[in-house]
Structure 1
Amino acid sequence: MRVIGFENIGDADVLQAAEKEPVIVVENGGPSFVVMSVQEYDRLCGRSGVGGTLVGSTEYIATIEVAEVETDTPYDLSDIPEVNSLPSRMTDGFMVPTEFLTWVATQEQPYELVQGKAVALESSMQMVDRIVGGLMTCLHSQLRGSLWRIFTGRTFVQTAPGTLRRAHLCLERAAADDGRPAAKQPLLVAEILTPVTDPQRLEEQLNEYKALSGLEYILVPIAAIFSLRVWRRTEHGSWVDDLYKGPDATVRLDRLKVAFRLADIYDT
């Protein structure tokens, strides 16, 4: 992706480049907008014509705000040195992941980054901590010495270029640097459902998690009762779910060769 100054926006080679890939335009020291073909814009908006032909023509150029591109497209702007070196857009309410991770480390209240904006989360509840602890114990005892590492809510799961979700627990293949703040390819994530859980947020999270290519399991325990729903990815890439109820119900995660009873994770 190319980065140019606003004074160069009229150059013919800029418009030609924008027909091939989006071009970030910098104005007054910060990213101002993005230039791209109408065909690319329609693709990002999910618009298509008959037979999969995209609406629009590369003969025309469309512009959209850079904040929208940072959050709603597959382009990871945080990997572009020119963008990372630009002044913060926090005054506009938007942050790239690197800015957010620096900022959130100074906050007492938990936050996550959703489409470029910091969203406050409810503080952890004792019942949630008990279930997270139970899951960690079950997984750790059966995966000890393996290539997998368990992370709690202090580690974010990157579900999109501008979104860092704060899962209660995730499991990812061990890396050389276990101190990294965001997991990009987890195999398992867990979200505890509590009386104060926002149903819309949970649904959005589940849909984002299901879109992660390497994810195999999503666990959603209900904090107040012995109930756990498990989503599994099939060999064809679709998702199926099972509901487990009662303290003696046994959950088997064959991909990990792990099994546990609900009583084990509910700390009874």
Structure 2
Amino acid sequence: MVANPQFSYMSPQEYLEWEKTQELRHEYIDGEVFAMTGGTKPHNRIAGNLFTKLDDFLAEKGCEVYISDVKVQVSESGPYHYPDVVVTCDQRDKESIDVVQYPCLIVEVLSPSTAAFDRGKKFTCYRQSSTLKEYVLIESDEIAVECFRRNEQGLWVLHTYSEEDNLDLESVGISIAVKKLYRQVRFDVEEKN
């Protein structure tokens, strides 16, 4: 993410109106606007693989799954984030065309430039959502998955998954082989500038 130097402060409503007119996506945190950076092929492939599995599974279950272009609104005043994958099973979210307010599952595919933020401040923001049950972090430069799941006491418990495991997403009732998340992902390709 890159801060937008044009604005010193923007209200949530100003952000929502302004962002509708922008070609690029921007996240909103505490009055500041941040341009979203581009991803890599592994990042895109992993998010796409997960989206496909979830979309097929949830098609007849009353849940909706979105990939990267739909904002999650954590509270009335923001922040607004664009997760890589988000699932909502809440009927209230059917009333909006561009925002999910009641997610049950949020997934971020990590990149070296965003990993610390996704693990830290972004997760802190997402935890404010009373409907969120699972937060999944998927590495894009190695095979590794972390799922933070809210237990019955409201505590977030970490579950880790490796290449031979199945990722259990209790929030939506599906188990996905971790290998399938990384289908057609190549780690041995060098980045070219």
TM-score, normalized by length of structure 1?
Answer: 0.61
Quote the residue 2:180 is aligned against.
Answer: 264
Would you say the 8 A contact 1:253–1:259 is kept in 2? yes
Would you say the 8 A contact 2:105–2:171 is kept in 1? no
Name the CA shift for 1:141/1:201 in 2 (closer, same or farther; >3 Å): closer
Would you say the 8 A contact 1:97–1:116 is kept in 2? yes
Quote the residue 1:205 is aligned against.
Answer: 122
RMSD: 2.0
Deviation at 1:259, TM superposition (A): 0.6
More helix per residue: 1 or 2? 1
Quote the residue 1:71 is aligned against.
Answer: none
For residues 9-158 of structure 1, the aligned pairs below 5 Å read 93-158=8-73
Name the CA shift for 1:212/1:104 in 2 (closer, same or farther; >3 Å): same
Quote the residue 1:233 is aligned against.
Answer: 150
Which residue identity does 1:136 align to in structure 2?
Answer: F
- Aligned to 1:132, the other structure's residue is in SS state helix
After superposing on structure 2, the runs of 4+ consecutive aligned residues of structure 1 that deviate more than 3 Å are 174-179
Q: Does 1:173 align with 2:89?
A: yes
Deviation at 1:174, TM superposition (A): 5.5
Name the CA shift for 1:197/1:118 in 2 (closer, same or farther; >3 Å): same
Name the CA shift for 1:103/1:254 in 2 (closer, same or farther; >3 Å): same
Quote the residue 1:216 is aligned against.
Answer: 133
Taking only the aligned residue pairs, the percentage that are identical comes to 22
Deviation at 1:178, TM superposition (A): 6.4
Would you say the 8 A contact 1:96–1:162 is kept in 2? no
Q: Distance in 1 between matches of 2:56 and 2:125?
A: 29
Q: For structure 1, which runs of at least 5 residues remain unmatched after alignment?
A: 1-90
Q: Distance in 2 between matches of 1:200 and 1:149?
A: 26
Would you say the 8 A contact 1:192–1:223 is kept in 2? yes
Q: Distance in 1 between matches of 2:27 and 2:60?
A: 31
Match 2:104 to one of 174, 187, 198: 187
- Aligned to 1:191, the other structure's residue is in SS state strand
Q: Distance in 2 between matches of 1:193 and 1:251?
A: 16
- Aligned to 2:130, the other structure's residue is in SS state coil
Higher relative contact order (CA 8 A, sep 6+): 2
Q: Distance in 2 between matches of 1:207 and 1:217?
A: 13
Name the CA shift for 1:198/1:137 in 2 (closer, same or farther; >3 Å): closer
Which residue identity does 1:166 align to in structure 2?
Answer: Y
Deviation per CA, 1:167-226, whole angstroms, max 9, x where unpaired? 111001254746522111100000111122251454101111122111001010000111
Name the CA shift for 1:155/1:120 in 2 (closer, same or farther; >3 Å): same
Deviation at 1:140, TM superposition (A): 1.6
Q: Does 1:252 align with 2:160?
A: no
TM-score, normalized by length of structure 2?
Answer: 0.83
Would you say the 8 A contact 2:26–2:35 is kept in 1? yes
Q: Tell which structure's C-alpha radius of gyration is larger.
A: 1
